[in-house]
Chains A and B, each alone.
Chain A
Amino acid sequence: MDPTSDNRLMEEVRDGKVERLAILFERHHVMLFNFFLRLSGNRSVSEDLVQDVFFRILKYRDTYQGESKFAVWMYQIARNVHVDHLRKQKPEVPLDDQFEEPAADEAPAIERLTSEVDAVLLKRALDRLPLRKKEILLLSRFQEMKYREIAELLGCDIGSIKSTIHRTIRELGKIYLELQGGTSP
């Protein structure tokens, strides 16, 4: 096995060379940060959650089996961290307020054609997806995970992941078009 592969490094972390986690952190923290950022829409929350993921990796390093890809295990932890975060937040903040909506409406008309606005609209559309669909889409499109790995991560069969992807993209396209219609002159 490649000595610098994620799995090998994590096995070393498990067996006591915890400083090897630094390499895994350098490899994955930006991706993980963007995963949380797309889920929460909040930078400082996302940084806290990334920190929490790596803390739990250390805390539960004994339980790492090395059978599946390290990233699958890491995103399992990441999802738990996110769920815990939502649970803690719920009583105080209504769900709608969890997202810092970008101020797309204030953009001058001339900029509406730019890809920047396109990106803003798409992000808003993503925010309107139900959590599970959004997660599956993020994992496959942004976190470089195969459908097979996502199925393993979520504990369901690959067929349902594929059909969810299909339906989610269709739904996203619909929301995106609605938003576009809403802001065009």
Chain B
Amino acid sequence: MNCEKIRERTADYLAGELDEESLAGMRAHLAECPHCREELEGLSVIWTKLGVLPNEEPSAALRSRFYGMLEAYKKGLKKEGEGQGAKRALSIWLGRLMPRKPAFQLGLALILMAAGLGSGFLLSVRPRSAARAEMASLRGEMDGMRRIVAISLLKQASPSDRLMGVSWSVRIDRPGDEIIAALLQTLNHDPNVNVRLAAADALYLFYDHPEVKKGLIDSLAGQTSPLVQVSLISLLVEIRERRAVEALERLIQNEKLNPKVKKLAELGLVQLS
């Protein structure tokens, strides 16, 4: 290998893309050529230094702006799609119906007018129900998107992202098993107290979901932070969950329990029984 070849392969060398054979050839040349050796060493130093330049985190606003845009775009798309589809169908349909002769056209117009007046009167209730169905389907789709967003945020490394994940999940009308499971997972295992607290509050909003009550009760035994314990006890009392009695009794027996939490748990027991 000569100096020219070394120069050609430098970029691949830096990126670690050279195979064994080329590497060996390069090493052999470098051992003999101090000029190439010196140059490659200098370039490697800069390349390595570049590699440790830290990445910066964008502000939280970027994420909320993106999701705002996505939601708006989806809404716009839905409207546009329906408008265009309906228009095209209508024009094809009318095109087929229209008679060729003007006299028949006039007759058809009169018949249609009469039919329109009559059916307009008869069907005056229908548009409202159609609009309701459309709203329901739109809501369903928005829910789907919020679910994806919430789940992906709950898996992020930064606590503020996960907090945002919890707040997205609160905006879901029908959370479904996946969201409930993710929130329970967060409540039980998130290392950050604030995120756990937010998850408990979010779950409270979904307490009519069958898994939630059981999840909140089971969670009480595993929590170590007094803040989360207090929050869970008041939630259980609030939703009048009698099955919680056992969990509260067990909690009170824990000797390491914070005295204030113990007092609250005892008070809760009285309220529940």
Interface residues of A (CB under 8 A from B): 16, 18-23, 25-26, 29-31, 33-34, 37, 43, 46-47, 50-51, 54-55, 58, 115, 118-119, 122-123, 137, 140-142, 146-147, 159, 161-163, 165-166, 169-170, 172-173, 176
Contacts and interface: CB of A to CB of B under 8 A. Distances in A.
A122 B59 contact: no
20 contacts: A18-B70, A19-B74, A19-B144, A20-B148, A22-B145, A30-B58, A31-B55, A33-B58, A34-B55, A43-B56, A47-B59, A51-B62, A51-B69, A55-B69, A137-B50, A141-B50, A165-B14, A166-B7, A166-B11, A170-B42
A45 to B, nearest CB: 12
A124 to B, nearest CB: 12
Contact of A141 (B10, B39, B51, B145): B51
B61 interface: yes
Nearest to A19: B145
B83 interface: no
Contacts, number: 122
Contact of B53 (A18, A50, A119): A119
Interface residues of B, number: 44
A43 B58 contact: yes
Given A19-B70, A54-B66, A29 B58 contact: yes
Nearest to B149: A22
B8 interface: yes
B15 A147 contact: yes
B196 to A, nearest CB: 22
Given A29-B66, A122-B50, A163-B11, A19 B57 contact: no
A173 B43 CA distance: 7
B47 A169 contact: yes
Contacts of B53: 119, 122-123, 142
Contact of B65 (A26, A51, A118, A166): A51
A3 B17 CA distance: 28
B66 A162 contact: no
B47 A141 contact: yes
A9 B14 CA distance: 32
Consensus secondary structure, chain B interface? helix
Nearest to B146: A19
Closest 3 CB pairs between A and B?
A: A162-B11, A19-B145, A165-B11
Interface in B143-164: 144-145, 148-149, 152-153, 156
Nearest to A122: B49
B56 A37 contact: yes
B50 A50 contact: no
A73 to B, nearest CB: 18
B102 to A, nearest CB: 42
B19 to A, nearest CB: 15
Given A19-B144, A169-B46, A33 B10 contact: no
Interface string B1-21: 000000110111011010000
Given A19-B141, A162-B11, 11 more contacts: A19-B149, A22-B70, A26-B156, A29-B58, A47-B62, A50-B62, A119-B52, A142-B50, A147-B12, A147-B17, A162-B12
B61 A47 contact: yes
A20 B8 CA distance: 42
B45 interface: yes
Given A34-B55, A122-B53, A19 B43 contact: no
